[in-house]
Structure 1
Amino acid sequence: MQRSTFLIAGVMTALFITGCTPQKMGYQPSSTIETSRLRSTVDIKDDQFEKSVLFIGPEETLGAGVLSEFNTYFIRSWVDKGTLVATHQVYVNDYGSGWKFWNSAKDENSNIMEFVSISSHVGSCRYGCSYFESFGASIDDKTLRSKRETGYRIKFSAKNGAEKVVHITPRQVIAQLEAIDARFPPQKVKEEAAQPKVKSDKQNQRQNKTLKQK
């Protein structure tokens, strides 16, 4: 009887331990869950009502842990459909327990960059308010293309003294440029830029009228 009691107790203990083991029942480590939520490819948005095609690149996180999914950054680019000129921006999402008021950016060579304040809002205040700020810095096409192998480090600063260093990885740069070049081949862009601007009939008429008046 005593032996049976011990046997049953052992089985129950084994079942309890098995049921409580996090690796069972489809459990995923937090890092895997966070990574799966990040955008891993370049999204392309071509709206017929917009003059530019938008490219939104792969995301990376800042820091680690559960909240890292709210602290992300990526490249977004616009290519003008008419001129085929590309402009780029590093886009940063910041999460915190208070406003930081991000307001400036410098690159790894101490060059002051054009800072862009994008958006800010307050999240849930159930257990203390959450503050979200999105901001960025403009990057010209020549500079971005020169960072294929090394990536690009940018430091952002805020009014409250906070600082954040963002490292745009080579993977992000390459993915962004490959998506743009596949849609707008570099040779075509060069040919478009080399073509002389042809004036319309209306522009010629206005110019001739102005000359006659003189």
Structure 2
Amino acid sequence: MKIVVSIVLGMASAAGLSAQKSQIVASNGVTVDISGDDFANRYEYTGPVVKFSEDNSNDQMSFAFVAAIKKGEIPPKRFITGVIYYRGDWHRYASAVFKGGDPAPFVNTSRNVLSCRYGCSYTEGFNMDISADQIKKYSSDGVLQIQIRAQSSNTAIMSIPVSHFDAVAEASR
């Protein structure tokens, strides 16, 4: 069985059907990971992971990163994607605001129970389509701060360096 799998994988690789992974360093020094599929003409660009915590706790188990997906000739659009980790009861993250209170685009993409032994642990995934105009308007000192808000009144603040947006934009051109 292992021989058959190896042969099939070898044939797929020889035919150019395998996914490719690489890294580049943008002109601002930020490393961008690239996952490509030449067959589908689809490429994913991801900036460094930024860790943050919910309600100013010290766990730093939540994370986000800037990404872009390029499909064929369609120009890529940068976005933030991430996961919020917490314990206790469901928080149901549903919205976000930029520093100052203006609404930020927010889509909850998943809700998962990790475990319920000695109390429950949860994750909630999200995406945020952030425009170049919003980055320019709401960033301060090279950082874009966004507060993610739950229906339960819990919050999480993430600080994404503008250099991550710039690096992903440069790499995905």
Of residues 133, 144, 156, the one that matches 2:148 is: 156
TM-score normalized with structure 1 length: 0.55
1:141 corresponds to 2:128: no
Q: Distance in 2 between matches of 1:145 and 1:94?
A: 29
Check conservation: 1:92, 1:136, Cα contact below 8 A: no
1:45 corresponds to 2:35: yes
TM-aligned CA distance change 1:42 to 1:157, over 3 Å: same
How many residues are aligned here?
Answer: 140
Q: Distance in 1 between matches of 2:153 and 2:140?
A: 31
Give the CA deviation at 1:160: 0.9
| 1:113-164 alpha-carbon deviations (Å, 9 max, x no partner) | 2211111211122222211112232201343467495211111111111122
Higher relative contact order at CA 8 Å, sep ≥6: structure 1 or structure 2? Answer: 2
Of residues 74, 77, 96, the one that matches 2:68 is: 77
TM-score normalized with structure 2 length: 0.65
1:59 corresponds to 2:49: yes
Segments of structure 2 that go 5 or more residues without pairing to the other structure are 1-29
Matched residue type, 1:157: R
Segments of structure 1 that go 5 or more residues without pairing to the other structure are 1-39, 185-214
3-state SS of 1:84 partner: strand
Of residues 172, 177, 188, the one that matches 2:166 is: 177
Note the 1:1-214 alignment, pairs <5 A.
41-48=31-38, 52-63=42-53, 65=58, 67-68=59-60, 70-144=61-135, 147=139, 149-169=141-161, 173-184=162-173
Matched residue type, 1:59: V
Identity %: 24
Q: Distance in 1 between matches of 2:36 and 2:159?
A: 28
* Structure with the higher helix share, 1 or 2: 1
Coordinate RMSD, CA, aligned: 2.8
